[in-house]
């Protein structure tokens, strides 16, 4: 759910294999007892977000902002980019890309700027109207679950991208991107794997768990990003630094990976 350049190309890697796994899991779930889950009306989305934010006790998110018309996101993006002297055209391009993504299926996001990664500042999270309209956003458990996901992105942005022996910060990231030793699409895939898998792990022990739909989507996404990372490692398409970043995350979620593989294989 993070705003950055999306991995359209890499989605191809999923291929038919993943579709088959999905069908298999649906069949299993259909056999289980039907659980009726009613959907809240969300009279005050900001209050609901504040409550969920209070529950997750975040170390890396500053505020969770309900931003249905993209106004707050735009102000934030402009202020961050103007502060580093970005040209107006660059700012407009960034905003267009972010807006397109927000109008698509990115309902909640932590904006990422490589120039700020590792600055140890907390990050705001912006939430779209679509998030509350989504049939799977049934109750507070779904808000908590989504915030567990954003907490992972906010932590990476604030502390830097996790490697085996250190965290990658802006001063290293910017030259690595320029030299193509680090590629945005791979940072995205690894970050989403980490975020969805953390969200899945948390859902299993949460006092207020997510809805069946949210949990199912979380597992599928976690598995799909895992599949993309493992395929890239096997094909040898990651650079050494990307491989280190990916393997650090694979080690972090070793147990959850075993569960995911049992579910989908």
* Closest distance to Zn ion from the beta carbon of 169 (Å): 20
Phi and psi dihedrals of 161, rounded to 5?
Answer: -80, 130
CB of 3 to Zn ion, least distance (A): 9
Shortest reach from residue 247's CB to Zn ion, in Å: 20
Residue placing its CB nearer to Zn ion in the complex, 86 or 184: 184
In the complex with Zn ion, the residue whose CB is nearer, 30 or 56, is 56
Contact 174, 233 (CB under 8 A): no
- Rounded CA gap, 158 and 123, in Å? 7
> How would you classify the pairing of strands 123-127 and 61-66?
parallel
Residue nearest to Zn ion (CB): 1
Closest by Cα among 175, 147, 183, 172 to 5: 183
For the bound state, the minimum distance from the C-beta of residue 33 to Zn ion, rounded and expressed in Å, comes to: 31
State how far the Cα of 46 lies from the Cα of 155, in Å rounded to an integer: 22
* Chain center to CA of 215: 14
> Which of these, 152, 98, 106, 145, lies nearest to 129 by C-alpha position?
106
256-258-264 Cα angle (round to 5): 100
Judge whether 182 and 176 are in contact, CB under 8 Å: yes
Compare residues 2 and 123 and give the one whose CB is closer to Zn ion: 2
- Closer residue to Zn ion, CB minimum distance, 86 or 183: 183
Residues found near Zn ion in the complex (CB under 5 A) = 1-2, 192, 195
- Cβ 192 to Zn ion, closest distance in Å? 5
Compare residues 21 and 149 and give the one whose CB is closer to Zn ion. 149
Nearer to Zn ion, 5 or 84 (CB): 5
127 CB burial (10 A radius; 0-12, 13-18, 19+)? buried
Q: How far is the CB of 153 from Zn ion (least distance, A)?
A: 6
Of residues 94, 92, 104, the one with CA closest to residue 8:
104
Nearer Cβ to Zn ion (66/188): 188
**Among 84, 103, 81, 101, CA closest to 92:** 81
Give min distance, CB of 67 to Zn ion, in A: 17
């Amino acid at each position: 759910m993070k705003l950055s350049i999306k991995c359209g190309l890499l989605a191809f890697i999923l291929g038919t294999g993943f579709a088959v796994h999905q069908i298999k899991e649906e069949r299993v779930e259909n056999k289980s007892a039907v659980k009726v889950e009613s959907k809240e009306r969300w009279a005050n989305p900001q209050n609901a977000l504040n409550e969920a934010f209070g529950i997750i006790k975040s170390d890396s998110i500053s505020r969770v902002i309900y931003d249905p018309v993209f106004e707050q996101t735009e102000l934030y993006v402009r202020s961050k980019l103007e502060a580093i002297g970005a040209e107006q055209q660059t700012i407009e391009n960034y905003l267009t890309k972010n807006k397109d993504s927000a109008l698509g299926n990115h309902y909640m996001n932590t904006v990422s700027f490589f120039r700020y990664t590792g600055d140890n500042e907390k990050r705001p999270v912006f939430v779209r109207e679509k998030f509350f309209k989504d049939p799977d956003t049934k109750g507070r458990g779904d808000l908590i679950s989504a915030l567990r996901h954003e907490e992972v992105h906010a932590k990476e942005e604030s502390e830097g991208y996790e490697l085996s022996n250190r965290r990658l910060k802006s001063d290293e990231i910017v030259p690595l991107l320029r030299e193509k030793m680090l590629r945005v699409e791979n940072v995205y895939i690894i970050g989403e794997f980490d975020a969805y898998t953390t969200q899945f792990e948390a859902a299993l022990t949460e006092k207020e768990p997510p809805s069946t739909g949210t949990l199912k989507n979380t597992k599928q996404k976690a598995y799909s990003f895992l599949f993309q990372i493992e395929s890239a490692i096997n094909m040898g398409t990651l650079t050494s630094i990307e491989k280190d970043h990916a393997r650090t995350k694979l080690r972090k979620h070793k147990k959850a990976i075993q569960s995911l593989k049992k579910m989908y294989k």
